[in-house]
Structure 1
């Protein structure tokens, strides 16, 4: 499910925006950006230190002291004061930053096998009967997810950071043999500048699903963000790697994609927009090689009662280099629409309740790949 996987780049982009606003002298906007990060990761002493410095610069000594004390409580071995170029005291930034989320909940899937609605279908000039286990079927289940982002600043005021992230996701369906296990680990470097920042990661991912998936991926991820203004920035993302399918060797191959995205924030930073698109190519064997494009949009509202609401839409087209099976003449083509929404209610500084919904509509000229899916989940998340 798209919404259930944390994206470490989103944290990186928001943190880059906060630091860029600070470096550009936009202290009010920097404070708002840091407040959003602290809300998501209340146990990160480094974020509290940086926010305390912002409030010190703004002259809000009460808020600066509160965040300084919180940073000291979270990291008691860290000295909380140093002297800047003007002889004023300010909080010392810890070189380490570690934050993450752990969540669990229940999930309903209207079509967990991603199959057509009936067993008898027409494919080209042929009548085909699909096995029962490949036809649309709904299921209830549960999930467990975890995500941790880490960074280490090489010099106290230097632009270079060592970064990394790990993530895991486990989904079980009650009474069904289609459990999903996904894991990820990545390490890389980050460079920050008042007008731009970039990162490069080497990552590995592994997916196991009882039905038919046993996939490992290794590759590189790159992100470059340019600050058009304190509330608008342009982001370029790219990935290149190799996918190994342990069950079907002909599905193994190299892949590449590159995307361009525009992120915008409202004047009060309570509404966030993300628009963009990408192109991709998967260089596998036989009928599995494909290329295509994707456009996406997302809006997120920071609601007044300690909650936020987001909506997203994704349109993707994939064109395969061959037919779905050897006895067909037409090349396979898939079009997919994803629509989703998420509501997060914050209980306190560390706990939140998440309610999520996603609709997927996959249209293909190969009828057994035509399917619809509704997924609803509700869970509890702990942030640190």
Structure 2
């Protein structure tokens, strides 16, 4: 081959390499940008009356099959939505962007809604974002009279507003949840999930409207949240570990709770719960650990409650190992949940009861290594000094102690 032909061949090869590189970069760039799946393109109608479940599911299914980043978009407007399940696994990272308002049926019994355990369910998804600044409205007021769980241990549970089952590497952010029929957000079997910048609200007398429930999950974070409900602002249930809660404003409600624990056989342990830099306002409890007095054994350990403000809270610091909300428990039974390594540090403010610190532990499994450090709680009442009460607890205190430590 002469020199000219050789140069021509090299030139063609070089151009081919340039072209192929351009194509590869173009494909990579197209995959890097999220593809938008607008629910309006799948038949959604934003009139607040039409059931949009099928349209939302069609958008989700196509997005889930997209091999790059996918974004299901709910534009501004009001969308009626019946119970729906968004199921993975998906080919790529999923984003569920709520700009508008999603409304549940107002009557719980409509279309079998009463028997549904959840309204909006994300299940078996790896890599998920749910946010967008929109609102999910459970329209729970018509359903709350059906809830008799305060007096009936075998009550019918109403639907959770949004439930995450077996979801990993997820972020829930910039959302407002109002008037849930039952719990607002439930986290179960999840890993590496963070909830941030959410607003959760329901009236103080709305039954069982917990803000966020976490069970059988690990590496879960909750931060910069405002929660006011008729039950626990945050509830950490059996099988949870490495739970981090910070910058939460709670109230009204029942406070931030670990438990209840020990109600069922073979419950998994709870460990590694940190609550810090938070405030509780006119709640029935502050930071609480609660267990049933049963023979079912498990452990709860490694807790830190730090830098927390109590504003007129009925029971600011509580361990209750005789939890019995329905009043029909065996008074001779004793909890077999072993609570240990719990630190309360830098907690101050006001208590609306005279007993500001109650550490009521189990005779069968006394609490071990409970620490009170720099507690400064005054009685928001007639000027009398607050008190503390301890039973079956081993530990110590340091720094300022108001009320005087019972350890």
Normalized against structure 1, the TM-score is what?
A: 0.25
Task: Return the structure number with greater helix share.
Answer: 1
Task: Return the structure number with greater strand share.
Answer: 1
Q: Which has the larger radius of gyration?
A: 2
Normalized against structure 2, the TM-score is what?
A: 0.24
| Larger RCO of the pair (alpha carbons < 8 Å, separation 6+) | 1
